Amino acid sequence: MNLAALLFDVARRQPEAPAVSDNVQGWSYREFAHRISCLAGGLAARGLAPGDRVMLCMENCAEFLEVMFSCWTAGLCAVPVNARLHPREVEHIARDSRARLLIATPALAGALAALEQTVETLGEVVSTRSAEYTGLIMRAAPMPAVDSRANERAWLFYTSGTTGRPKGAILTHRNLLFMSHCYYADIEAVDERDTNLHAGPLSHGAGLYALPHLLRGGHQAILAHFDVDEIADALQRHSRVSMFAAPTMLTRLVDAPAVASADLRGLRTIFYGGGPMYVTDLERALKLFGPRLYQLYGQGESPMTITGLTRRMHAEKTHPRWRDRLGSCGVPRTGVLAKVVDESDRELPPGEVGEVVTRSDCVMAGYWDNPDATAETLRGGWLHTGDLGSFDEDGFLTLRDRSKDMIISGGSNIYPREIEEILLRHPDLIEVSVVGRPHPEWGEEVVAFVVARPGATIARKTLDRLCLDHIARFKRPRHYEFVDTLPKNNYGKVLKTELRRLLADPPREESLTR
């Protein structure tokens, strides 16, 4: 049940069909499969053994998919990480996963090279498009895909909780194959005529949904980053184009003149998710794109696959609850169970709000090296998402709030506790609480309420520098609100709902450049 073996089978059937391309290079399935098998041989020759972890810290490029499938060919576990993370954040993931090798793109490799000295298990950092990387492919004999079991680790998907420390969700070959089958059942059938356009980070949802397309012979067209003009151009050059978009990306496409004036006949589907999509914005998207939208709801722990709002559901304007359904995240996916439960894990009736839980072959095997978190999150055999929602009488799930106070900005998850811990390193700060505030373009922006020691004066640029030295730029607060005290309940817990209420007024501070 090795995913790489399935790819090699596709390459045998359609060797000359386009497999992967970016702005520099492109490979047919024959070339792609050959490079994968040679790189896998190179990794094995370096002493990597089945089960070892290989980190991918890479900007969008064709090599990302090449490295990932090479890992699976050799029986290794891929650990993709966000290319925007701070090197110290990458260091934690490398140490936690006990990675043996880190492969990075040239712009990132230099800053990450020091990890060879600080992470005990890490043998080396290799840059793509270097002589060393080319040597891994050219100097090794090609190897066939190892005979992996379906429950073996394929991808460690690092996600975070309110502790601020990322946890590695173990995704098996079975999880990812089920996810792909669910794509075919619920979103669209795929064949060699299709193009999957990647404008989002391959380390996240875009990369996950490369799999159903590659396993059915579709072409992967990879953009270096989200660029409206390049997307509009790709829609003219390719037919039967599908792409993943975070809600903020979808909104930017709707607002872009280049897309509004483009010939959209080549566009097949935009599947979107990863954050809240406002109904007003969705109606605008439907007016522009027509019945080409599919909304998905999932988590890293159940990749992209819990509920979905189909293209037909988007288009049913005559339905009496059409707008309510647009505000939902649809119904459980094929082969997926989902329900809403109370604090005792008892299922709640329609209309009552509780925690969303799910069960399917897509649910992770557990958290890497974290049995306590695994037992808590998978208790009773159900994945406890931490999201609050309710089902209606027709089985449509609407998310009401996110527990754990997670912030979603620009499609990226931001965890307040992580930022709070960094800010509290400042000797003159005694209390910090971070919350999200709605933002018209990014979905939410980060705001930090800070309490300074009496008599202390703290420059906002000092706090900003502190964050930039330890965490990724997109996580840092856009506003700092200096207050005398934080609102708390009788147990001393900060009332973040009250802080969000205070933010309903216009911000008093100047916004920092994103």
Give CA–CA dist 390/338, Å, rounded: 11
Summarize pLDDT for 119-162 with one digit per residue, the tens: 999 999 999 999 999 999 999 899 999 998 899 999 999 985 43
CATH class of 407-502: alpha beta
Region 397-403: mean pLDDT is 76
Spacing of C-alpha 399 from chain mean position? 18
479 pLDDT exceeds 90? yes
Region 455-468: mean pLDDT is 93
Give CA–CA dist 202/210, Å, rounded: 8
Give CA–CA dist 138/135, Å, rounded: 5
> What sign does the CA torsion over 366, 367, 371, 376 have?
negative
Give CA–CA dist 305/366, Å, rounded: 16
Summarize pLDDT for 242-287 with one digit per residue, the tens: 999 988 889 889 989 999 999 999 999 999 998 777 788 899 999 9
509 pLDDT exceeds 70? no
What pLDDT is stored for residue 493 in this prediction? 67
Q: Which of 105, 190, 387 is nearest to 274 (CA)?
A: 387
Give CA–CA dist 5/40, Å, rounded: 12
What pLDDT is stored for residue 403 in this prediction? 62
Confidence of residue 388 (pLDDT cuts 50, 70, 90): confident
Eight-class DSSP state of 484: S
Q: Which of 50, 31, 30 is nearest to 40 (CA)?
A: 50
Q: Contact, 19 vs 34, CB < 8 A?
A: no
Q: Contact, 187 vs 271, CB < 8 A?
A: yes
Confidence of residue 341 (pLDDT cuts 50, 70, 90): very high
Element of type H or E holding 177: helix 173-186
Q: Contact, 307 vs 264, CB < 8 A?
A: no
Q: Which of 235, 293, 280 is nearest to 259 (CA)?
A: 235
CATH of domain 28-148: 3.40.50.980
What pLDDT is stored for residue 278 in this prediction? 74
Please determine whether the domains at 28-148 and 407-502 fall in the same fold group of CATH: no
What pLDDT is stored for residue 512 in this prediction? 39
**Residue ranges in 209-256 assigned as alpha helix (H):** 210-214, 228-237, 247-255
Element of type H or E holding 297: strand 293-299
Element of type H or E holding 303: strand 302-309
Region 36-46: mean pLDDT is 97
Q: How far is CA 300 from CA 52, 158, 161, 343, in A?
A: 21, 8, 12, 23
Q: Which of 89, 160, 161, 162 is nearest to 433 (CA)?
A: 162
Two structure tokens written together for 292? 């080409």
Termini Cα distance of the chain: 43
Q: Contact, 435 vs 503, CB < 8 A?
A: yes
Confidence of residue 317 (pLDDT cuts 50, 70, 90): very high
Give CA–CA dist 411/247, Å, rounded: 7
What pLDDT is stored for residue 107 in this prediction? 96
What pLDDT is stored for residue 408 in this prediction? 85
CA angle at residue 232 from 227 to 237, to 5 degrees? 120
What pLDDT is stored for residue 513 in this prediction? 35
Confidence of residue 490 (pLDDT cuts 50, 70, 90): very low
Residue showing tokens 């080319």: 134
Q: Which of 252, 270, 286, 289 is nearest to 439 (CA)?
A: 252
Q: Which of 328, 243, 228 is nearest to 282 (CA)?
A: 328
Q: For the chain, give the percent of residues with pLDDT over 90.
A: 78
Summarize pLDDT for 344-381 with one digit per residue, the tens: 999 999 999 899 999 999 999 999 999 999 999 999 99
Task: Delimit the domains of the chain by residue range.
Answer: 28-148, 407-502
Residue showing tokens 């935009």: 270
Instruction: Assign 3-class secondary structure to 90-103.
Output: HHHHHHHHCCCEEE
Q: What is the mean pLDDT of the chain?
A: 92
Region 440-468: mean pLDDT is 92
Confidence of residue 305 (pLDDT cuts 50, 70, 90): very high
What pLDDT is stored for residue 164 in this prediction? 55
DSSP 416-439: HHHHHHHHTTSTTEEEEEEEEEEE
Summarize pLDDT for 175-229 with one digit per residue, the tens: 999 999 999 999 999 999 999 999 999 998 889 999 999 999 999 999 999 999 9
What pLDDT is stored for residue 511 in this prediction? 35
Q: How far is CA 183 from CA 163, 189, 294, 509, in A?
A: 32, 8, 11, 45
Q: Contact, 6 vs 29, CB < 8 A?
A: no
Q: Contact, 139 vs 161, CB < 8 A?
A: no
Confidence of residue 404 (pLDDT cuts 50, 70, 90): low
Confidence of residue 505 (pLDDT cuts 50, 70, 90): low
Higher pLDDT, 514 or 11: 11
Residue showing tokens 């722990």: 301
What pLDDT is stored for residue 277 in this prediction? 78
Residue 41, classed as helix, strand or coil, is: helix
What is the dihedral angle through the alpha carbons of 489, 493, 494, 497, rounded to the nearest 10 degrees?
Answer: -70
**pTM, to two decimals:** 0.84
What pLDDT is stored for residue 228 in this prediction? 94
Pairing of strands 241-245, 195-198: parallel
Region 92-120: mean pLDDT is 97
11 pLDDT exceeds 90? yes
What pLDDT is stored for residue 148 in this prediction? 86
What pLDDT is stored for residue 410 in this prediction? 85
